[in-house]
Amino acid sequence: MQAMKIKTFLSILMAKMTKSLIRMLGRGGTDFPGRVAMKLDHKVLAQCAKGVKCIVVTGTNGKTTSSRMIEQTLKDLGASFFCNKSGANLITGITAEFISNSTLTGRCKCDYALIECDEAAFKEVSTMIDARAIVVTNIFRDQLDRYGEVTHTLNSIKIGISHSPKATLCLNADDSMVASIADDFKNKVVYFGVNVPIYKKRVQEVSDAPFCIKCKHEYVYDYVTYGHLGGYRCPNCGYHRPTPDVAVVKVLQSDAVKSVVDLTVDGTPYRATINLPGGYNIYNACGTVAVGRALKLDMTAVIRSLSEFAPGFGRMEKLVIDGTPIRMILVKNPAGCNQVLNFVTNVTEPSVFVVCLNDRDADGTDVSWIWDVDFEKIADMGGQLKGLFLSGVRADDMALRFKYAGIPEDKMQVIKDYETLMKTCAAQKCPVYIMPTYTAMMDLRNKITKMYDVKNFWE
């Protein structure tokens, strides 16, 4: 018993020392201290998480943005909490975050922890924390080279939930796979959803869940918001979209800056302004409101916070270089990328687009997903498309994809060198939208801070 404690103490001590050292060296490694700690004590997270009420955000897309929205809410309410940031959503990063918010004896200094958690990591993390609210944003095909199938992702999430009997589940009612989770558990459930279509014109996309999760019959949809999300029902077994407790009933405005929606929480109407463009962010806002309801937070305050938060790491971040407005939007899988295209191709001013495609482990080593994205929509922009630059390790694959999408070869340019790329972007006379995969985004950030006098536009 004593030996266990010493092991835990050493683990925490080493993690804290590693973190200081990394900081002194000016590096930003977010999960390395966690890796060190777990080497010394595999279960150190369990000690540090004792007595901390955890809010977990998981699912394929929207984890980071939802977490930032919930963070804003907790901040505005003056709650004592911490969160894992900067995409540190694997067990090592989460462990590091808990340790840095704990004393050397492993006592956490906060009441709440807000944890963005990768679906696969959730299985293990959930055995060591006390989850009180779990948001499942959606389930889409993601880097299948790593996870296999979407039903596999669903099962990972279910295993995590099975370790979390005290948690209220905040489930996306519009996602047939996510909504079905409720049937397997006795946990309290808050459903959130959008009762009406969001987009006037949508990209063409493949449904990731055309068949009933219960009986494998094809679903019928009364409407689709995007992807496989919407008002589904199974004509064979009767499984259908549950009535959401948090429901968007009307989309009043959804433009390049923000969305304004009418929503109801248990029937009480509210009007919410969501300070982030893109229809898919309406879902992230709904998930946040669902957490507010699960934790019985002041609803008016929760909704006010939605209008006040700043975009997270690579999610619609905006910077201005030499007078050119540049937005950086992370893309990582077909569904997410299609939603980004829904947004960027609906902007009304002429724009330049950049796609940076890498195929390192964190990006997914299989780039074939680009053929499932409706890049034809960019070709359809005609004169609105002022230029198209392709970069990253697999820039040539991206150029070929656009050739097949119908973009004339002379309208696109492969620029693999990031310095040249950024200079070219900064010289544009119109807005530039950069869509990088994960590691491309990290490399671009480093390059941008080295090249330009922009203040750290991320934390």
Residue 184: what residue type? D
Which 8-state DSSP code applies to residue 382? G
- Tracing tokens 């959930």 back to the chain, one arrives at 126
Q: How far is the CB of 218 from another protein (least distance, A)?
A: 7
- Cβ burial of 429 (10 Å; 0-12, 13-18, 19+) is exposed
Among 132, 93, 138, smallest CA distance to 116 is for: 93
Spatial separation of the C-alpha atoms in residues 249 and 194, rounded to whole Å: 7
Pairing mode, if any, of strands 351-356 and 432-436? parallel
The residue among 114 and 393 lying less far from another protein, judged by its C-beta, is 393
* Part of the chain binding another protein (CB under 8 A), chosen from 41-49, 209-217, 259-267, 307-315: 209-217
Q: Which of residues 125-144 bind another protein (CB under 8 A)?
A: 141, 144
The residue among 221 and 270 lying less far from another protein, judged by its C-beta, is 221
Establish if 220 lies at the interface with another protein (CB under 8 A): no
Q: How long a stretch of residues is the chain?
A: 459
Q: How far is the CB of 370 from another protein (least distance, A)?
A: 7
The residue among 142 and 317 lying less far from another protein, judged by its C-beta, is 142
Spatial separation of the C-alpha atoms in residues 93 and 81, rounded to whole Å: 17
Q: Which of residues 149-168 bind another protein (CB under 8 A)?
A: 149-151
Q: How far is the CB of 299 from another protein (least distance, A)?
A: 38
Contact 280, 59 (CB under 8 A): no
Interface with another protein: number of residues (CB under 8 A): 28
Q: Candidates 5, 80, 249, 404: give the one binding another protein (CB under 8 A).
A: 404
The residue among 174 and 208 lying less far from another protein, judged by its C-beta, is 208
* Part of the chain binding another protein (CB under 8 A), chosen from 44-52, 147-155, 191-199, 302-310: 147-155
Contact 280, 226 (CB under 8 A): yes
Q: Which of residues 295-324 bind another protein (CB under 8 A)?
A: none
Q: Candidates 111, 183, 184, 218: give the one binding another protein (CB under 8 A).
A: 218
Give the HSE-up count for residue 110: Cα atoms under 13 Å, Cβ half-sphere. Answer: 22
Spatial separation of the C-alpha atoms in residues 145 and 154, rounded to whole Å: 16
The residue among 321 and 399 lying less far from another protein, judged by its C-beta, is 399
Among 306, 199, 205, smallest CA distance to 246 is for: 306
Q: Candidates 211, 308, 408, 411: give the one binding another protein (CB under 8 A).
A: 211
The residue among 76 and 372 lying less far from another protein, judged by its C-beta, is 372
Among 61, 70, 116, 85, smallest CA distance to 293 is for: 70
Establish if 117 lies at the interface with another protein (CB under 8 A): no
The residue among 269 and 408 lying less far from another protein, judged by its C-beta, is 408
Q: How far is the CB of 233 from another protein (least distance, A)?
A: 17
The residue among 283 and 369 lying less far from another protein, judged by its C-beta, is 369
> Residue 300 CB: number of other CB atoms within 10 A?
10
Residue 448: what residue type? I
Contact 36, 99 (CB under 8 A): no
The residue among 57 and 154 lying less far from another protein, judged by its C-beta, is 154
Q: How far is the CB of 130 from another protein (least distance, A)?
A: 33
Q: Which of residues 356-385 bind another protein (CB under 8 A)?
A: 365-372
Q: Candidates 132, 401, 437, 443: give the one binding another protein (CB under 8 A).
A: 401
Spatial separation of the C-alpha atoms in residues 97 and 179, rounded to whole Å: 30
Establish if 409 lies at the interface with another protein (CB under 8 A): yes
Among 371, 423, 376, 425, smallest CA distance to 397 is for: 371
Spatial separation of the C-alpha atoms in residues 133 and 119, rounded to whole Å: 15
* Part of the chain binding another protein (CB under 8 A), chosen from 67-75, 81-89, 94-102, 395-403: 395-403
CA distances from 452 to 173, 316, 423, 449 (A): 44, 19, 10, 6
Q: How far is the CB of 155 from another protein (least distance, A)?
A: 11
Establish if 210 lies at the interface with another protein (CB under 8 A): yes
The residue among 51 and 148 lying less far from another protein, judged by its C-beta, is 148
Task: Give, to the nearest 10 degrees, the angle between helix 63-76 and helix 299-306.
Answer: 120
Q: How far is the CB of 127 from another protein (least distance, A)?
A: 24
Where does this chain bind another protein (CB under 8 A)?
141, 144-145, 148-151, 206, 210-211, 216, 218, 365-372, 396-397, 399-401, 403-404, 409
